[in-house]
Amino acid sequence: MKLKRLTIYGFGHFHDRTFDLTDGLNFLVGPNEAGKSTLTQFITAILFGFPTKKHPELRYEPLDGSRFGGEMQFVQADVTYTVTRTAGPHGGKVTLHNDTTDLALPANNLAGLLAPVDQQLFTSVYAINEPRLGQVFAASKQELIDRLRHVGAVGSDFWLTQAHQLDQQADSRYKPQGRNPILNQQLQAHRELTDKLAKADAAYGTYWQLLQEQQDLRQQQAQTQDQLAQQRQVTAQLTQQAASWPAFAEWQRLGQLADQPVPSGFSADDATQLEQLRGQVTATEKALTADQQRVQDLQQTAQLPPLFQEYLPVAAQVDPLLTQLPAVQQAAQMQQQLAAQQRDLQQRSTALETQYAVGGQMPRPFSLATLQQVKDLQERLTAANQKRRRIQQHLNQLNERYQQQQPTRQQQRNPLADKQLIWLAVGLVVLVGSLLLPGTLFKLVGALCGVAVGYYGVFQVDSSTPASRELEDLTADIRDNQAQLREGGHLVDDLTTQLDVIGEAHGLGNVPLAQWSAAQTAIAEWERLSRQMEEQGAQLAKAKQTIAEFLTAVGQVLPSLATSDFATVATQLADLQARQQASQTQSGELASLTERLRTDQRAADEASHALAIFLSTRNLRSVAAFYDRYQTQRERQNQAQQRTTLAQQIGPANLAALQQVADQASLTQSVQQAQTQQAQLQQTLDQTTTRLATLAGQLAHLTASGTQATLRQRLANLETQMVATTQEWLVQRLTSQWISATLAAASGDRLPQIVAQASKLYGKLTENRYTEIELTATTLRVRRADGAWRNVGQLSRGTAEQLDLAVKLAFAIVMQQQVAMPLLIDDGFVNFDADRRQAAYALLAEISQTVQIIFLTADTAVERLNTGNLIRLND
């Protein structure tokens, strides 16, 4: 599995964020609290589900209230998938989509794609951080073996659980130092009963109760014997069917072969016809060889050129090639022209790529809708910038007017305002003086005059000046223009952001906006050049193929020209054609032999053609293939006879019964069930018989020692239970050991590979200070360069973490064929010194050729490594 893209809707402090990953080494760099651990938990959650709300610290629900979840695009087995997980029950709502075939898949298919990796294995091996590397101090061989079994054996989780349950059940029955297990309690009870039996006095039981029990048991014994006889018949039939299963499987296999269609044309008559055709081919080839030998003798006598001597025996095959020579020469001229044009187109394409390509990738062209959108955004951006400039100019003018019209102290004073207190004082004096006047009417008129004077002084006299009022208007205009300027800035930022998003989406992030139009023209020109190169490449390949096929055909009939180039071959064939035309006027035996040679060649070709038609009508390439088919048909007849014999051997009844069985496993299970039921009936019968024997002894000795007989019976029953408990304990313990041995056989061969690989990686991490890793029964230990061994507890924390890192990397490399998972490393090298940290980076770059690595770190030194895909989390 290789991760391609992470899209976060809302997870922790991330929202609406996308990360594009490459197949090899990916560095995600950011300081503390940049979200490195959040990304690790995001990948784990998308693959295996969100933790429950009982663990809110692991859920990373979005802090801004955005939609919880995200999606992940990954590639597995050359197929691209997209898995989306959002908030919902049972680990979140999951959707799975096959991007290669554009099909929606059931959500439960995700577990099948991840199998056999589950969340526990992923977090313990593939999700690496500093605390988990520290767990190497408690590592053991059994933990690594369990990881291997989990991946190396299909269904191992179930069997490991079964083995663990069997061990627990066995421990619940017996432990050497235990008290609560059943067998331990039975042993204690056995000792107590033995002591009681030795000390017990004679006592009497109830004779008639024992006698009634004896009668009931005898009736039960008879019924059990009848059931056991019937069950034995059923078990015998099923056992016989199980024994016949190999023959039945062979009968089924032969039946499948018999159902396959048998091609016609492979009978004994066909074999006779084939031999006749082969005889004709042999005879014509012998005649042709004799005439060729005679022609060679005459040619040597006539002292003909070697090429012409070589031509004469194969003239019938060379003449068509001479006819093709002009067309092939024209193809050679076209090849030279196309090669020159191809070089010119490549130079022009390379120039465009040098100018616009980023990371070897040309920008993508705009669609018509995108082109119109960019045009509209540019026009709106231009208009917004122009409006901002006009507003800014107007604002500057207003500011200048404001500075020029700042009032002086004298202008700020209002004479009438200075006299407000005087007017108020005069009004008050008039009001008080009116109260001293005689007569109510005079007092009322005087009071009204005093109030009018005070009202005029307070409310009618305006304290402001024309200059102050103009400044207030300017201030209002300035504030209004500033608000418009801020609004225009927001609009410009929004339009710029939209253009930046379009540029990033089409690979134009490094191209200035003003050059986008020229870039689109260049992209169109580059695509046109690419198409022309493809078309001319196809024509050039066709011309090369024509020349190559012509040279091959010439080399087959004229071996002396097999290693010559086309120019030499064309010259030689032209000379040969001229000599051929000159030799047509010659007469005599050579001409006669040449004609007869051509006749022989035609006869040989016709015989070979007839043989080829005979084989092609049967879809064969050779005579040996015919005889293989012929032998296969004879084997089919033998298989049909064998199938009939097997059916008779199995018998009609068993054959009909076996045809109703799904597979051998179900038949074996039926046999085991029948045997188990028979064993249970037999056990019941044995218990009944044992009880009857016990009752007979009790009845015989009841009058003499009733209490002793009861204790003896209890002791006998206890011993029977102890035997049964011991048998169950042995079955459970042996079954658990068998499961462990089987799973170890299925995956144990990979353990030496992992240890050997880990030793190599550990040597590179520690600069060859440690050269070997040994996995003991309880822990890991390493050998130093001087030969001394060190346990994990004797290593420094950084060196121990490097050991755990080497083991986990080795595990991922060796298990790559079974489990192709990416490695997530979250600041795992914090305890490494500078040299070993650089060695670790070099090692990651090396293994990233086969394993995808996502390294999240706060170490900005990785930006200077010039390797891998670098992503800055704060960008």
User: What digits encode the pLDDT tens for the residues 730-757?
Assistant: 777 777 666 665 555 545 556 677 788 8
Q: What is the pLDDT of residue 302?
A: 52
Q: What is the pLDDT of residue 653?
A: 81
CB 683 within 8 A of CB 277: no
CB 567 within 8 A of CB 333: no
Q: Mean pLDDT, to the nearest integer, of 142-171?
A: 58
Give the residue carrying structure tokens 């042993």: 187
Q: What is the pLDDT of residue 551?
A: 78
**Whether the predicted pLDDT of 111 surpasses 80:** yes
Q: How many domains does the chain have?
A: 2
**Whether the predicted pLDDT of 97 surpasses 90:** yes
> Which residues span the domain enclosing 833?
1-116+819-875
Q: Mean pLDDT, to the nearest integer, of 520-542?
A: 77
pLDDT in tens, 709-737: 676 778 788 888 888 888 777 777 777 66
Indicate the angle between helix axes 156-173 and 141-152, nearest 10 degrees.
130
Reading the block at residue 167, the tokens are 């061990």
Please report whether residue 269 resides in a domain.
Answer: no
How would residue 203 be classed by pLDDT, with cut points 50, 70 and 90? Answer: very low
Q: What is the pLDDT of residue 100?
A: 92
CB 211 within 8 A of CB 696: no
Q: Answer positive or negative: Cα dihedral of 105, 111, 113, 119.
A: positive
Between 610 and 465, the more confident residue is: 610
Reading the block at residue 874, the tokens are 């704060």
Q: What is the pLDDT of residue 148?
A: 44
Counting Cα atoms < 13 Å in the Cβ hemisphere of 313 gives: 23
Task: Give the integer Cα–Cα distance in Å for 684 and 693.
Answer: 14
**Whether the predicted pLDDT of 139 surpasses 60:** no
Q: What is the pLDDT of residue 265?
A: 63
Q: Mean pLDDT, to the nearest integer, of 492-503?
A: 80
Task: Give the integer Cα–Cα distance in Å for 380 and 548.
Answer: 61
DSSP secondary structure letter of residue 16: E
Please report whether residue 548 resides in a domain.
Answer: no
Please report whether residue 124 resides in a domain.
Answer: no
Please report whether residue 733 resides in a domain.
Answer: no
Beta sheet of 780-784, edge-to-edge order: 770-775, 780-784, 789-791
Smallest CA-to-CA distance from 547 within 367, 354, 696, 331 is with: 331
Cis, peptide link before residue 415, omega less than 30° from 0: no
Q: How many CB atoms lie within 10 A of CB 341?
A: 15
Counting Cα atoms < 13 Å in the Cβ hemisphere of 559 gives: 1
What does the radius of gyration of the chain's CA atoms come to, in whole angstroms? 50
pLDDT in tens, 844-868: 888 988 899 999 998 888 888 888 8
How would residue 71 be classed by pLDDT, with cut points 50, 70 and 90? Answer: very high
Of the residues 513, 532, 558, the one at which a domain ends: 513
Q: Mean pLDDT, to the nearest integer, of 775-796?
A: 77
Q: What is the pLDDT of residue 668?
A: 86
CB 51 within 8 A of CB 42: no
CB 17 within 8 A of CB 76: no
**Whether the predicted pLDDT of 766 surpasses 80:** yes
Please report whether residue 632 resides in a domain.
Answer: no
Task: Give the integer Cα–Cα distance in Å for 179 and 326.
Answer: 103
Beta sheet of 869-872, edge-to-edge order: 127-129, 823-826, 853-857, 25-29, 869-872
**Whether the predicted pLDDT of 589 surpasses 70:** no
Between 262 and 389, the more confident residue is: 389
Q: What is the pLDDT of residue 114?
A: 86
Q: What is the pLDDT of residue 42?
A: 92
How would residue 82 be classed by pLDDT, with cut points 50, 70 and 90? Answer: very high
* Phi and psi at residue 128, to the nearest 5°: -105, 130
pLDDT in tens, 412-442: 445 544 556 677 777 777 777 777 777 777 7
Please report whether residue 181 resides in a domain.
Answer: no
* E strand spans, 792-852: 823-826
Task: Give the integer Cα–Cα distance in Å for 640 and 638.
Answer: 5
Smallest CA-to-CA distance from 434 within 421, 423, 424, 445 is with: 445
Q: Mean pLDDT, to the nearest integer, of 283-290?
A: 80
Between 637 and 32, the more confident residue is: 32
- Tell me the pLDDT of the chain averaged across its residues: 77
The CATH number of the domain holding residue 31 is 3.40.50.300
Close Cβ partners of 288 (under 8 Å, ≥ 6 residues apart): 597, 600, 601, 603, 604
How would residue 121 be classed by pLDDT, with cut points 50, 70 and 90? Answer: confident
Of the residues 481, 513, 545, the one at which a domain ends: 513
**Whether the predicted pLDDT of 812 surpasses 80:** yes
Task: Give the integer Cα–Cα distance in Å for 266 and 271.
Answer: 7
* Phi and psi at residue 84, to the nearest 5°: -120, 135
Of the residues 459, 491, 513, the one at which a domain ends: 513
252-261, 269-278, 368-377, 447-456: range with lowest mean pLDDT: 252-261
pLDDT in tens, 218-268: 898 899 888 888 988 888 888 887 888 888 787 877 777 665 555 666 666
How would residue 300 be classed by pLDDT, with cut points 50, 70 and 90? Answer: low
**Whether the predicted pLDDT of 514 surpasses 80:** no
Q: What is the pLDDT of residue 15?
A: 87
SS3 of 255, please? helix
How far, rounded to the nearest angstrom, does the alpha carbon of residue 642 sit from its chain's CA centroid? 48
pLDDT in tens, 123-134: 877 888 777 665
Q: What is the pLDDT of residue 152?
A: 41
Task: Give the integer Cα–Cα distance in Å for 634 and 571.
Answer: 56
**Taking the C-alpha atoms of 834, 840, 841 and 845 in order, what is their torsion angle to the nearest 10 degrees?**
160
Please report whether residue 11 resides in a domain.
Answer: yes
How would residue 588 be classed by pLDDT, with cut points 50, 70 and 90? Answer: low
How would residue 458 be classed by pLDDT, with cut points 50, 70 and 90? Answer: low
Please report whether residue 15 resides in a domain.
Answer: yes
